[in-house]
Amino acid sequence: MNFDHVFTVTFTLFAIIDMLGNIPILISISERFGQIQAWKATTFAGALMLVFLFVGEAFLHMLGVDLKSFAVAGSILIFIMGLEMTLGIDIFKSEDENQTGSLVPVAFPLIAGSGTLTTVISLKTNFDTLTIVIGILLNLLIIYIVLRSLRLLEKLLGRGGLLVIRKFMGVILLAVAVKIFKSNLGLG
């Protein structure tokens, strides 16, 4: 096993998932949908990543969906979440708020969204499966710790700090969504 490869895969996924940058979003979601069930969200996100590692590209192909279309759809969801954060409006509604808040939008698309899932599939071209699995598992540990620590992080940042970070991260999400959208449509 090559530890440099494990580090590269782990860091790549860490950057894409952006758990630290998602803290304001996660706190906002927990306020709207109730406490996020860290274990449930982490397990579901991990399962999605592992399933996509092994059968994602074939599954999308079977549905007649290419990776670029999948990424564009994910960028639209990310854009909507960015609008919510930046403008302070609620577009995403859940029918069963207490049950789905941990899964939608936390596990998918926030943690295991199109960017993460596309990255997992793309890593297969340069790294062996075991290395990618280890990178996913290390990121799941980080995800779980952040989700379990949301209240502590909220206290440390304060309401004003969270509001500033939330607006800033909303703009960042909008920019990321536009970038994913443009690059997958061949516009940039």
| pLDDT reported for residue 47 | 97
**C-alpha 49 chain-centroid distance:** 10
In the prediction, which pLDDT does 97 show?
Answer: 45
d(CA 173, CA 75): 9
Query: Sign of torsion, CA 67 177 88 166?
Result: positive
Note the pLDDT of residue 91: 75
Choose among 115, 107, 143: nearest CA to 20.
143
DSSP for 5-58, written as a single string: HHHHHHHHHHHHH-TTTTHHHHHHHHHHH----HHHHHHHHHHHHHHIIIIIHH
Q: For residues 137 and 49, what is the distance between their CA atoms, to the nearest angstrom?
A: 10
Amino acid 54: pLDDT: 95
Contact yes or no for 135/12 (Cβ under 8 A): yes
Does the pLDDT value for residue 96 go beyond 70?
Answer: no
Give the pTM: 0.74
Banded model confidence at residue 100, pLDDT cuts 50, 70, 90: low
Q: How far apart are the first and last CA of the chain?
A: 37
> pLDDT band at residue 95, thresholds of 50, 70 and 90?
low
pLDDT one-digit tens code per residue, 84-94: 878 888 776 65
For the cut 90, the answer to whether the pLDDT of residue 44 exceeds it is yes
Per-residue pLDDT at 98:
46
User: Average pLDDT, whole number, for the chain?
Assistant: 85
Which of the pair, 120 or 163, is modelled with greater confidence? 120
Q: What is the pLDDT of residue 185?
A: 87
